[in-house]
Amino acid sequence: MKTAVYVPRDSSALSMGAESVARTIRTEAANRGVEIDLIRNGSRGMAWLEPLVEVSTPKGRVAFGPVSAKDVPGLFEAGFVKADAHSLNLGLTEEIPYFKNQERLTFARVGITDPVSLPDYTNSGGFVGLANALKLSGEQIIKEVTESGLRGRGGAAFPTGIKWKTAYDAPADQKYIVCNADEGDSGTFSDRMVMEGDPFLLIEGMTIASLAIGATHGYIYLRSEYPHAERALNEAIATAYQEGYLGNDIRGSGKTFHLEVRRGAGAYICGEETALLESLEGKRGEIRYRPPLPAVAGLFGKPTILNNVITLASIPTIFENGPGFYKNHGMGRSRGTLPFQLAGNLKRGGLVEKAFGITLRELLYDFGGGSYSGRPIRAVQVGGPLGAYLPESQFDTPMDYESFTAVRALLGHGGLVAFDDTVDMARMARFAMEFCANESCGKCTPCRIGSTRGVEVIDKIIQNRNREANVELLHDLCDVMLNGSLCGLGGLIPYPVLSAVRHFPQDFGIARNGK
């Protein structure tokens, strides 16, 4: 019998040379007459071990990593296909604590299956949720989603059931499902991993959403820098059409849902839902005012469910295992799990899916293993470039939407970027403001002019030019941006900026009271 060998096709593995590893393994096996079945799986999410090569054994899959192409002959020499001892042998993958200690609901399949294999998907519970949903009315589907407690995973944490209900209640001749896959926050990659590692999951989630509101068309607005995700999605969509999971008569139900991938315009702002809709309509990616909400007047002015990848990818689990199962995870009003993404100056970067409630410190140290540089972690930016910088004193904050709001921070999309004690937080504040200036769509005044002025003001503070007055001006500017901006870009950039000032005043040359 052939031995299954797994080499991930995930971007993180590919960027570390997985392609040449796979090629070398194939060549070596052929040269040595070893029969193997090389499978290109998704990533297990342990980025520091990529390329993580796995070999299936009767006891389970054994991991080797990080493997480079030049390691491959040695691995074969050492009896790699029998999972014999080797310095890169990490033992059973499932027993690696980083992996073992997670609660993988949404990512249950990612890294394990061949992402574009429909049998792999259906053999592991795939499309069970859809089958269940097909038995329900739109209202019943929405009720289950509401009961699950699922909130939008894009960052705003809006209750998904209410959003769907709004789109359901809006009368229209045409409705749409749009997936926001324009994942652009620094330090985030969970959307990409699920699209590359389990694309059918997103298709299934979107199809269930379409059943809920009677939408016949869906679009995945995909970040332009995600070519591997695009390939995986398109392959999976083609298969789903062939097998009747998409199209005019979904699994003989008479229901219609057509789905296509649209490549994004390459602007961060197009990840904002209304700018995304403008861009999807072929226009300049510019923010629309609300109301009307996209659920009422979204794509081409029609009611539209617009959800993040992880939100939609969470749906099949809810319909496979019931809303109660999902709701039983988490804390407070944050139900279910969140795939946290560990990045920055950490020993063990990667993806950690955990129920809400784990603390920041646990993520940083138990999973992340502390800083990569070995120096103390001084600050962590949580929730992408618009999220606050948290100091060590806040590391015990539980990962929960409300707990984060209480410390004037954001959980956002669950990305963590860690910095050690060499970081200059004034530079980081400037970086945040500059990011806003670079990415502003230019529609509203506070963001368009304010972000550029913000950089200038921070520069003056750093240069100690009229520092006290400029710190006051920075606060006033942040107030105008926070309260006056049209969307979350200008409206949230004060979070990182002011958190840096608040927690690290010394980096700005000022005392804690701002003087």
Partner 1 sequence: MQSIIASDLGTPERKSGKSISLEVNGVQVTVPEGSSVMYAANVAGMKVPKLCATDNLEPFGSCRLCLVEIDGRRGYPASCTTPAEAGMKVRTESPKLADLRRGVMELYISDHPLDCLTCPANGHCELQDMAGVVGLREVRYGYDGKNHLHEQKDESNPYFTFDPSKCIVCSRCVRACEEVQGTFALTIDSRGFDSHVSPGQMQPFMDSECVSCGACVQACPTATLMEKSIVEMGQPDRAVKTTCAYCGVGCSFVAEIKGNQVVRMVPNKDGHANHGHSCVKGRFAFGYTTHPDRILKPMIRQSIEDRWKEVSWEEAIGHTASEFKRIQAKFGRSSVGAITSSRCTNEETFLVQKMVRAAFGNNNVDTCARVCHSPTGYGLKTTLGTSAGTQAFDSVMDADVIFIIGANPTDAHPVFASQMKRRLREGATLIVADPRAIDLIRTPPHIEASHHLQLRPGTNVALINGLAHVIVTEGMANDAYANERCEPQEYQAWKDFVSQPKYSPEAVEPITGVPAETIRGAARLFAKGPNSAIYYGLGVTEHSQGSTMVIGMANLSMATGNMGREGVGVNPLRGQNNVQGACDMGSFPHELSGYRHISDAKTRELFEKEWGVKLDAEPGLRIPNMFDAALDGSYKGMYIQGEDFVQSDPNTQHIEAALRNMECIVVQDLFLNETAKFAHVFLPGSTFLEKDGTYTNAERRIQLIRKAIPPVAGKADWEITMDLSNALGYPMQYDHPSQIMDEIARLTPTFAGVNFEKLDKLGSVQWPCNDSAPEGTPTMHIGKFVRGKGHFVLTEYVATDERTTSRFPLILTTGRILSQYNVGAQTRRTENVMWHEEDILEIHPHDAEHRGVIDGAWVSVASRAGEIVLRARVSERIQPGVVYTTFHHPDTGTNVITTENSDWATNCPEYKVTAVEVTPVSKLSVWQEHYREFTDQQEALLPGKVIRGQ
Q: Is 204 a binder of partner 1 (CB under 8 A)?
A: no
- Minimum distance from residue 432 beta carbon to partner 1 (Å): 14
Task: Select 354 or 443, whichever has its Cβ closest to partner 1.
Answer: 443
**Rounded Cα gap, residues 53 and 66, in angstroms:** 8
**Rounded Cα gap, residues 218 and 246, in angstroms:** 10
**Rounded Cα gap, residues 418 and 59, in angstroms:** 36
Q: Is 50 a binder of partner 1 (CB under 8 A)?
A: no
Alpha helices in 127-266 (DSSP H): 128-134, 138-148, 160-169, 190-197, 199-213, 227-242
**Rounded Cα gap, residues 199 and 262, in angstroms:** 15
**Rounded Cα gap, residues 505 and 174, in angstroms:** 53
Task: Select 269 or 277, whichever has its Cβ closest to partner 1.
Answer: 269
Q: Of the ranges 171-179, 244-252, 324-332, 450-458, which one interacts with partner 1 (CB under 8 A)?
A: 450-458
By CB under 8 A, name the one of 399, 441, 493, 500 that touches partner 1. Answer: 441
Alpha helices in 33-173 (DSSP H): 72-77, 97-100, 118-123, 128-134, 138-148, 160-169
Cβ proximity of 177 and 187 under 8 Å: no
User: Which two structure tokens, joined as six digits, stand for 10?
Assistant: 């995930």
By CB under 8 A, name the one of 159, 484, 509, 514 that touches partner 1. Answer: 484
Q: Is 451 a binder of partner 1 (CB under 8 A)?
A: yes
User: Which two structure tokens, joined as six digits, stand for 32?
Assistant: 């040595």
Task: Select 82 or 290, whichever has its Cβ closest to partner 1.
Answer: 290
User: Which two structure tokens, joined as six digits, stand for 330?
Assistant: 């988490």
**Rounded Cα gap, residues 353 and 364, in angstroms:** 14
- Minimum distance from residue 217 beta carbon to partner 1 (Å): 18
Q: Is 456 a binder of partner 1 (CB under 8 A)?
A: yes
| Nearest alpha carbon to residue 487 among 298, 244, 256, 270 | 270
Neighbours of 58 (CB within 10 A): 5
Q: Is 422 a binder of partner 1 (CB under 8 A)?
A: no
Task: Select 32 or 284, whichever has its Cβ closest to partner 1.
Answer: 284
- Minimum distance from residue 282 beta carbon to partner 1 (Å): 8
Task: Select 143 or 448, whichever has its Cβ closest to partner 1.
Answer: 448
Quick note: the x/- pattern for partner 1 over 273-302, rule CB under 8 A, is: -----------x-x--xxx-----------
How are beta strands 36-39 and 3-6 bridged, if at all?
parallel
Residues in 240-269 at the binding interface with partner 1, rule: CB under 8 A:
267, 269
- Minimum distance from residue 171 beta carbon to partner 1 (Å): 16
Task: Select 347 or 448, whichever has its Cβ closest to partner 1.
Answer: 448
Q: Is 438 a binder of partner 1 (CB under 8 A)?
A: yes
Per the listing, tokens 């990962």 go with 399
By CB under 8 A, name the one of 91, 131, 469, 512 that touches partner 1. Answer: 469
Per the listing, tokens 């899959």 go with 61
Q: Of the ranges 213-221, 322-330, 402-410, 437-445, which one interacts with partner 1 (CB under 8 A)?
A: 437-445
Q: Is 483 a binder of partner 1 (CB under 8 A)?
A: yes
- Minimum distance from residue 473 beta carbon to partner 1 (Å): 5
Neighbours of 32 (CB within 10 A): 13
Site of interaction with partner 1 (CB under 8 A): 267, 269, 284, 286, 289-291, 437-453, 456-457, 469, 473, 476-477, 479-480, 483-486
